[in-house]
Structure formats: structure tokens, C-alpha cells
């Protein structure tokens, strides 16, 4: 069946995307074959057994915008491991059926488009996906059942997290959980709300049911699905061993003053006893600034900045042809060009590569020195500084410094099941370096993630809203932010975070009647 054709160019020939010629084109046939092959593979993995689960892929064609590409979808209620290309449905971008497979003889059921169809379409519509996979894998079902009150699955410090788009080993992976219904199409609204509420997620779990995973391409969707299932399986096995997969050190599941602590991202807060026998809910997350909060300002101003400034030329010369340094130079060129157009003081033109390595480096050094002198909080500078400092730490020329009360507090919060994150104007690499090599050892095991200025300026409210959405907390007040900067505290408070200001030796003065609680040590938190 076909609708009114829209003209596109396929293999140099203009035809309609819904014409019979296009439905029989090589691209459509190859995608049908791919879906049937993946159905067989996913059956062996236990993702689509018992006729459950489904897969859908867009017909890729460079001449057609992704939003207008046709969709190949496996049928519902059939033996997925026996699927053939001709058994696949062809769906238009608006969700209407363009091709229905022919019925097979008894005892096969008549063909039926996947009940997941409306949910697939939401992922395509809201995330511009290239493929969506729905798995009934037992791992994705069981992790939603350990804590029936949990609204999220959370895990950190596992290598396979790197296989999820936008995540690294030290990041916390958060997957929203929605409640199951009798019919899959009834999940459409709750899935859409979860996609909207968790802008960085590439999957949604359905309690007692399975998972929906999407990617920019079928390879991305498949890779991420494999990583999700691995992480779910790891979480289940850690739970069986009495270990907590939601904390960086994966230590024993703890109790807080006799109250068992839940895992799997429960939205039920643990309780801590106060000395007057009142009960106070613990924050779900603590967000820490570095300079003037965990680390003396003097370490940054008198050690790190001078080291970066004094080693710019040496670093650029020694690493000039590396990928990292070429990326740094590209970013600096873009920043300097913008500075020149805006008349920023200290900005100097950077010659083209044809001028030679030495002249390029000399111009870069001059610009970087001006940026450091002005204490500019810009990504181009922070990224380069991070790479320079990395070399310093590797050569044992630098060692991270934190206040003496910080390690004990981090260990305590970790034992209580509180996730701790860092938000600093320094790059995420620079942050990891400070905590990765200190006189107290590697403190990264207590940290669930790192945020830098790529999420926004630290003095802007929107940045803290973005962090709240990324962490997936039920409400912004579940995050407790500690900083030494009044403007940052004000911005975070406006976003709904709980805020306290850190008073440390060397910190700048605060406005009178600033209105915030203050602490001089993390032991007071």
C-alpha cells in the first residue's frame, strides 16, 4: 500500500518515498534484511524470546532528512528468530503503515504491527533517533523490581558506562523507570514524560517489563543495548553479593543509624539522627565547588595557574601534532577570533598553520597568558590547562591539595549512600586530576561525577537547572550545593538547590546580610 508520493533523489533518480519503486528500493530491502538478522541475534541474547520485544530502524539515505526517512519495524507476537525480510512492516515518518506483510499459513497468526509502535515513534520524534530497540531481557526486568519505589536505575564507576552516549567511567548513569500497564501503547505518555524529564538519557526502563533503547544509528542503539544489559546484570550480581553498585567504591550495602539504605536510585530518602533525637532527611546528592571549598584558593592561584602559564609553550611544542593539542588549538583559534571581533583586551591574531609551528605557538602563548591574567572562565583555556596539568601530574611535578576535613567527609557521605559531584570552572579532566592524586590518596572513588562550564556559567541559574535535570532528582532541593562564591550560591538557590557557603582561609569577603548558612569545615555538614 502507498500514499501520495513525495519526491526525493535515490541513487540519482527522483522518486517518491512512498512510491512502490522506493518501497522496493535497495535501501529498504537492506534495512528489512538487517532487522530480521538482528531479531535472530537478539533472540539468542534472550531479549525477544516468547515473541516479545521488537526492533525498528530508519532507512538511511543521505538525500533524505532523518525526520522524513521511512521506518522498518518488526511485527508483534511472532517468532522473532524466524523473521524474514518480507515479514517486516514499512512505516511512514508520521506513523502510518505503508507496507503490510502477507499472512503466513496456519498455525501462524495474521501479521500485526508492533504494539510498541507509538512508543518507538516518540523516541524518533523527541530524540531524532535512527533506531529503537525494545528488549524483554530478564536483567532489564529484575533491576526494576529490587526496589519497587525506585524511579531510577543508577550506577557509576563501571567500564561499560563508557558505551552509553555522553557518559564516561567516572560519570553516574541514570535511567528513568516508568510503571508498566496492561497494554504497551498505554505507556506512550509516561515514556514521553520520562524522555522529556531526562534529556541525557538514551533509554527508559519499564518496571516488571523491559527497556526501550534508542541511538543515532542502529549500531549505536545495539551497542548501547548491550552495555545497558551488561550493567543491569552486573548490578544484580553485585546486589546478590551484598555490594552497592550505586557508589563509586561498590562497597557493602550500608545502613544509616539502623535504617537500611536502599539502592537503585530510590526516591525514599535515608534518615539521619540529630543529637536532639529529631530526624532530618539526608540530601540525595551533594554538589561541591573546588576552589575555596574543597581546595585552598592558594593552590589554584599560586600552584596550578603559574604551572600552566609557565609551561604553555613547552607543552604545545612537545605535543603539537597530537589529537588533544590540535583540538585545543582549534578551540583557541575560535575563541581568539571571537575575542578579536568583540575587542577583548589582550587578544592577538593567530597566524595560519602555513606560518609555521613556532609562530603559531608564540601567538597561542601570548593569548593564553592574557586569558590567564584576566582569570577568564572559558572552555578553550580550561581544556588546554587541563592537558598541561595532566602532564604535570604524570611527571610528579604536581600533587592535588584538599583541606584535611574533605577526605573524611567524602568517605562518610559515600557510606551514607549520598552521591557526591563536583562542579568547577576547571575542565572535568582538571577536576579528576586534583582528586586523583592527593596526599590523601585517590579520592575519585568517592565521587560520582564531574560538571564543568560546558553545562553553563557557574553564576547562571540555568546551569544548576541543567545539572538537576542531568542528575534526575525528584526535586532540585534534593541537591545540596557547597560553594565559596556568593553569586554562585544565589544562582543555585534560584534553581531550587539547598545551598551553604564555605568559609575557608584565603576566601574573599561575602556581602553583609548575604542570607546563606555558612560552614568552616565539611564536618559541619
Determine the distance from the C-alpha atom of residue 481 to the mean position of all C-alpha atoms in its chain, rounded to a whole number.
20
pLDDT band at 2 (very low <50, low <70, confident <90, very high): very low
Cα-flanking dihedrals φ and ψ of residue 425, to 5°?
A: -70, -20
Q: Taking 90 as the threshold, does the pLDDT of residue 142 lie above it? A: yes
Report the alpha-carbon distance of residue 35 to residue 70 in Å, rounded.
14
User: Dihedral of the CA atoms 355, 359, 361, 363 (nearest 10)?
Assistant: -110
Hey, CA dihedral for 207, 208, 209, 210, is it positive or negative?
positive
Q: Could you tell me which residues are beta bridge partners of residue 295?
A: 291
pLDDT for the residue numbered 280: 52
User: Dihedral of the CA atoms 472, 475, 477, 482 (nearest 10)?
Assistant: 10
Q: Could you tell me which residues are beta bridge partners of residue 419?
A: 285
Catalytic residue positions, numbered: 159
Q: Taking 70 as the threshold, does the pLDDT of residue 279 lie above it? A: no
pLDDT for the residue numbered 473: 84
Q: Could you tell me which residues are beta bridge partners of residue 177?
A: 205
pLDDT for the residue numbered 281: 62
Q: What are the tens digits of pLDDT across the range 71-102?
A: 999 998 889 999 999 999 999 998 999 999 98
pLDDT band at 218 (very low <50, low <70, confident <90, very high): very high
Q: What percentage of the chain carries pLDDT values higher than 70?
A: 91
pLDDT band at 272 (very low <50, low <70, confident <90, very high): very low
Q: What are the tens digits of pLDDT across the range 111-141?
A: 888 778 899 999 999 999 999 999 999 999 9
> Average pLDDT for residues 131-155, to the nearest whole number?
92
pLDDT for the residue numbered 17: 54
Which of 41-45, 91-95, 391-395, 412-416 has the highest mean predicted lDDT (pLDDT)? 41-45
Report the alpha-carbon distance of residue 336 to residue 347 in Å, rounded.
6
Report the alpha-carbon distance of residue 414 to residue 26 in Å, rounded.
55
Q: What are the tens digits of pLDDT across the range 386-396?
A: 899 999 999 99
- Of the listed ranges 91-100, 138-147, 246-255, the least confidently predicted one is 246-255
More confident residue, 7 or 312: 312
Hey, CA dihedral for 126, 128, 133, 139, is it positive or negative?
negative
Which of 243-252, 287-296, 466-475 has the highest mean predicted lDDT (pLDDT)? 287-296
pLDDT band at 471 (very low <50, low <70, confident <90, very high): confident
pLDDT for the residue numbered 457: 92
Q: What percentage of the chain carries pLDDT values higher than 90?
A: 65
- Is residue 502 exposed (0-12), middle (13-18) or buried (19+ Cβ within 10 Å)? buried
Report angle CA 217, 427, 520 to the nearest 5 degrees: 130
Q: What are the tens digits of pLDDT across the range 417-447?
A: 899 999 998 888 889 999 999 989 999 999 9
Question: How many Cα neighbours within 13 Å face the side chain of 92?
Answer: 14
pLDDT for the residue numbered 8: 45
pLDDT band at 107 (very low <50, low <70, confident <90, very high): confident
- Of the listed ranges 272-276, 286-290, 391-395, the least confidently predicted one is 272-276
For the chain, the average pLDDT equals 88
Cell of 407: 577526605
Residues in the chain: 525
Report the alpha-carbon distance of residue 510 to residue 206 in Å, rounded.
48
pLDDT for the residue numbered 264: 39
More confident residue, 216 or 148: 216
pLDDT for the residue numbered 342: 92
Which of 131-135, 306-310, 465-469 has the highest mean predicted lDDT (pLDDT)? 131-135
Amino acid at each position: 500500500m502507498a500514499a501520495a508520493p513525495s519526491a526525493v533523489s535515490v541513487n540519482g533518480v527522483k522518486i517518491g518515498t512512498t512510491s512502490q519503486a522506493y518501497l522496493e528500493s535497495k535501501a529498504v530491502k537492506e534495512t528489512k534484511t538487517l532487522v530480521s538478522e538482528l531479531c535472530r541475534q537478539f533472540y539468542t541474547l534472550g531479549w525477544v524470546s516468547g515473541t516479545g520485544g521488537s526492533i525498528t530502524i530508519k532507512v538511511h539515505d543521505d538525500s533524505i532528512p532523518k525526520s522524513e526517512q521511512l521506518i522498518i519495524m518488526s511485527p508483534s507476537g511472532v517468532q522473532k528468530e524466524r523473521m524474514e525480510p518480507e515479514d517486516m512492516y514499512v512505516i511512514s515518518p508520521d506513523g502510518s503503515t505503508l507496507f503490510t506483510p502477507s499472512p503466513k499459513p496456519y498455525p501462524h497468526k495474521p501479521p500485526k504491527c508492533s504494539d510498541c509502535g507509538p512508543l518507538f515513534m516518540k523516541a524518533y520524534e523527541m530524540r531524532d533517533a535512527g533506531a529503537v530497540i525494545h528488549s524483554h531481557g530478564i536483567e532489564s526486568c529484575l533491576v526494576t523490581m529490587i526496589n519497587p519505589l525506585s524511579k531510577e536505575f543508577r550506577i557509576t564507576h563501571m567500564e561499560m558506562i563508557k558505551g552509553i552516549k555522553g557518559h564516561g567511567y567516572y560519570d553516574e548513569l541514570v535511567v528513568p523507570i516508568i510503571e508498566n500497564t496492561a497494554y504497551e501503547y498505554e505507556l506512550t505518555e509516561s515514556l514521553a514524560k520520562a524522555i522529556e524529564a531526562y534529556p541525557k538519557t538514551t533509554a527508559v526502563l519499564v518496571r516488571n517489563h523491559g527497556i526501550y533503547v534508542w541511538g543515532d544509528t542502529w549500531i549505536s542503539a545495539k551497542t548501547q543495548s548491550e552495555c545497558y544489559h551488561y550493567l543491569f546484570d552486573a548490578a544484580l550480581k553485585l546486589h546478590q553479593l551484598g555490594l552497592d553498585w550505586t557508589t563509586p567504591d561498590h562497597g557493602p550495602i550500608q545502613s544509616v543509624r539502623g535504617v537500611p539504605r536502599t539502592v537503585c536510585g530510590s526516591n525514599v530518602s535515608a534518615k539521619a539522627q540529630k543529637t536532639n533525637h529529631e530526624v532530618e532527611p539526608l540530601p540525595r546528592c551533594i554538589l561541591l565547588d573546588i576552589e575555596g571549598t574543597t581546595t585552598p584558593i592558594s593552590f589554584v592561584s599560586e600552584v596550578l595557574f603559574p604551572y600552566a602559564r609557565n609551561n604553555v609553550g613547552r607543552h604545545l611544542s612537545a605535543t603539537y601534532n597530537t589529537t588533544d593539542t590540535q583540538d585545543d588549538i582549534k578551540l583557541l583559534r575560535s575563541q581568539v577570533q571571537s575575542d578579536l571581533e568583540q575587542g577583548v583586551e589582550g587578544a592577538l591574531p593567530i597566524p595560519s598553520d602555513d606560518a609555521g609551528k613556532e609562530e603559531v605557538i608564540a601567538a597561542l602563548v601570548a593569548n593564553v597568558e592574557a586569558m590567564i591574567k584576566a582569570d577568564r572562565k572559558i572552555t578553550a583555556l580550561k581544556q588546554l590547562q587541563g592537558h598541561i596539568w595532566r602532564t604535570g601530574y604524570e611527571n610528579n611535578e604536581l600533587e592535588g591539595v584538599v583541606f584535611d576535613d574533605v577526605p573524611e567527609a567524602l568517605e562518610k557521605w559515600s557510606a551514607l549512600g549520598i552521591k557526591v559531584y563536583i562542579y568547577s570552572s576547571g575542565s572535568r579532566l582538571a577536576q579528576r586530576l586534583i582528586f586523583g592524586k592527593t596526599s590523601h590518596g585517590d579520592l575519585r572513588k568517592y565521587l560520582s561525577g564531574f560538571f564543568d562550564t560546558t553545562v553553563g556559567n557557574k553564576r547562571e541559574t540555568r546551569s544548576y537547572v541543567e545539572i538537576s535535570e542531568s542528575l534526575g532528582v525528584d526535586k532540585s532541593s534534593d541537591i545540596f550545593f557547597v560553594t565559596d562564591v556568593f553569586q554562585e550560591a544565589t544562582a543555585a538557590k534560584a534553581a531550587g538547590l539547598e545551598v551553604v557557603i564555605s568559609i575557608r582561609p584565603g576566601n574573599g569577603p561575602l556581602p553583609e546580610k548575604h542570607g546563606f548558612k555558612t560552614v568552616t569545615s565539611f564536618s559541619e555538614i
